[in-house]
């Protein structure tokens, strides 16, 4: 439950915020192009740096400590996300406001990786940046992330639901990107590929020419198929899947996926049609097609499986993204990737390809 911070009446209207408790510790967990995610260790937890390294792996940086001691109850089951300094980044206040007003009403609370704005202690981001630079020198930070650090102008972080296994060997974490559960409205009416499969096969063609590795993945239409065997087929490619049969049964007619598909169907300002690329509807339409589903699967079948949607920050047209979306769709159509007849498209996971083959 959200709690307003005492003395916050002078702040601008927007999402209520927490104060990040003093005395907590941060341990680097992962990072993407725009954010770094940290595991939080409360001040009341006795844990040595060495034991934490053992749990998290050899490449884990030591905790970044915050001075003093405070109440860490709001941190249970949470991770801390911090924003990088990048040209297309938007403030966490705006991120939280968009999430509360646009994303949250579309789903039930238990279906989402929650976000709560939290004010950071002075100097925390600078210390995290120092650690990131030290990790670069020690080879502990991915090379492709070198040179980009956290924004020192961002006073907030985001507390997000912890959907990791938290080193519990009785739990496995599966994740998948349920992109384009509904075909692109710009696709040709006789398309033999869904939007995701067409794009993957186009990118694989580019990868072959460059001598790079190709990507293999599932067709998202299989995830929402009425046929359990189609869902089982998709689980072959799902990262972290430890029990394909059980995962397929969970995903079959899954209420979260069906709800997401319906939102994608309604929010169809994508492809070459719809409103301006800078409109909220266009941003939401693209956001709903680029989220991630995280699934916690206990080994015991008597324990429930937990699934939530994340990566739901509202997309922006900044940094040329809007033009990239349009250029990509134009190329898929212009070069015939939706038709499935280009070189290298002979073998495909696409459900549309199998459907048309069965009709012949």
Burial (CB count <10 Å: 0-12, 13-18, 19+), residue 180: buried
Q: Answer whether 108's CB lies under 8 Å from 29's CB.
A: no
- Which strands, in side-by-side order, build the sheet including 25-31? 17-19, 115-119, 156-161, 78-83, 35-41, 25-31, 64-65
The pLDDT, as a whole number, for residue 187 is 95
Is the CATH number of domain 17-162 3.30.200?
Answer: yes
Residue ranges of the domains in the chain?
17-162, 172-359
Contact 119, 316 (CB under 8 A): no
Give me the residues paired with residue 38 across strands. 28, 80
Q: What is the pLDDT of residue 53?
A: 28
Residue partners of 132: CB distance under 8 A and separation at least 6: 28, 36, 141, 149, 150
Centre a 10 Å sphere on the Cβ of residue 184 and count the other Cβ atoms it contains.
23
pLDDT of residue 319: 66
CA-nearest of 74, 79, 92, 83 to 22 is 74
Cα(191)–Cα(271) distance, integer angstroms: 14
pLDDT of residue 184: 94
pLDDT at 14: 53
End-to-end Cα separation, the chain, in angstroms = 56
Residues of the chain short of pLDDT 50, as ranges, are 1-13, 44-72
pTM for the model stands at 0.84
CA angle 223-235-331, nearest 5°? Answer: 60
Inter-axis angle of helices 195-210 and 321-334, nearest 10: 90
- Cα–Cα distance for residue pair 256/259, rounded to 1 Å: 5
Q: Provide the pairing of β-strand 35-41 with 78-83.
A: antiparallel
- In tens, the pLDDT along 229-272 reads 999 999 999 999 889 999 999 999 999 999 999 999 999 888 77
Considering only CA atoms, which of 285, 257, 278 is closest in space to residue 323? 278
Q: Which residues of 230-239 are buried (b: 16+ CB within 10 A; e: fewer)?
A: bbbbbbeebe
């Amino acid at each position: 439950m959200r709690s307003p911070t005492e003395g916050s009446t002078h702040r601008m209207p927007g999402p209520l915020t927490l104060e990040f408790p003093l005395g907590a510790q941060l341990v680097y967990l992962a990072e993407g192009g725009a954010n770094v995610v940290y595991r939080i260790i409360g001040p009341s937890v006795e844990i040595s740096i060495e034991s934490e390294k053992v749990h998290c792996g050899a490449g884990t940086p030591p905790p970044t400590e915050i001075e003093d001691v405070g109440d860490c109850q709001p941190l249970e089951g949470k991770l801390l996300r911090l924003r990088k300094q990048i040209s297309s980044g938007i403030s966490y206040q705006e991120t939280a406001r968009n999430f509360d007003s646009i994303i949250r009403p579309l789903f039930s609370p238990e279906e989402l990786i929650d976000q709560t704005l939290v004010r950071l202690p002075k100097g925390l981001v600078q210390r995290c940046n120092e650690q990131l630079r030290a990790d670069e020198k020690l080879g502990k930070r991915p090379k492709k992330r070198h040179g980009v650090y956290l924004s020192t102008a961002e006073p907030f972080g985001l507390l997000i639901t912890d959907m990791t296994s938290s080193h519990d060997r009785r739990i496995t974490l599966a994740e998948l990107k349920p992109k384009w559960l509904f075909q692109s409205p710009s696709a040709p009416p006789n398309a033999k590929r869904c939007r995701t499969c067409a794009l993957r096969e186009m990118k694989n063609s580019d990868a072959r020419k460059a001598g790079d590795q190709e990507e293999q993945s599932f067709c998202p239409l299989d995830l929402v198929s009425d046929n359990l065997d189609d869902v089982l087929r998709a689980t072959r490619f799902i990262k972290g899947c430890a029990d394909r049969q059980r995962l397929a049964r969970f995903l079959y007619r899954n209420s979260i996926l069906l709800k997401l598909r319906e939102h994608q169907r309604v929010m169809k300002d994508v492809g070459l049609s719809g409103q301006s690329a800078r409109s909220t509807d266009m941003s939401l339409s693209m956001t709903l097609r680029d989220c991630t589903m995280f699934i916690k699967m206990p080994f015991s079948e008597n324990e429930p499986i937990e699934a939530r949607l994340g990566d739901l920050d509202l997309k922006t047209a900044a940094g040329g993204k809007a033009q990239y979306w349009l250029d990509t769709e134009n190329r898929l159509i212009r070069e015939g990737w939706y038709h499935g007849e280009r070189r290298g498209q002979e073998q495909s996971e696409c459900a549309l390809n199998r459907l048309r083959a069965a009709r012949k």
